[in-house]
Amino acid sequence: MVALQPLVSEFTIVGRLTDFVISSKGRIKYLSLSTPEADYLIAVAKSPKNHLGEHLQPGCLLKVTGMRKYKLHQEQVEYKAYRVELLSEQSSNQTAIAANRSKTKILVCQGSSCGKKGGQAICKILQTELKTKGLTQQVEIKTTGCMKQCKQAPCLIMPVRNSYTRVQPQQVSQLVSKYLPKSD
Neighbour-count burial of 83, counting CB atoms closer than 10 A to its CB (0-12 exposed, 13-18 middle, 19+ buried): middle
- 113-147 per-position pLDDT tens digit: 888 888 888 889 988 988 888 888 878 888 888 88
The pLDDT value given to residue 6:
52
The architecture CATH gives domain 103-179? 3-Layer(aba) Sandwich (3.40)
- Band (99; pLDDT cuts 50, 70, 90): very low
- What is 7-100's CATH superfamily? Nucleic acid-binding proteins (2.40.50.140)
Tell me the pLDDT of the chain averaged across its residues: 78
Name 109's bridge partners.
144
84-100 average pLDDT score: 58
CA distance 148 to 111: 9
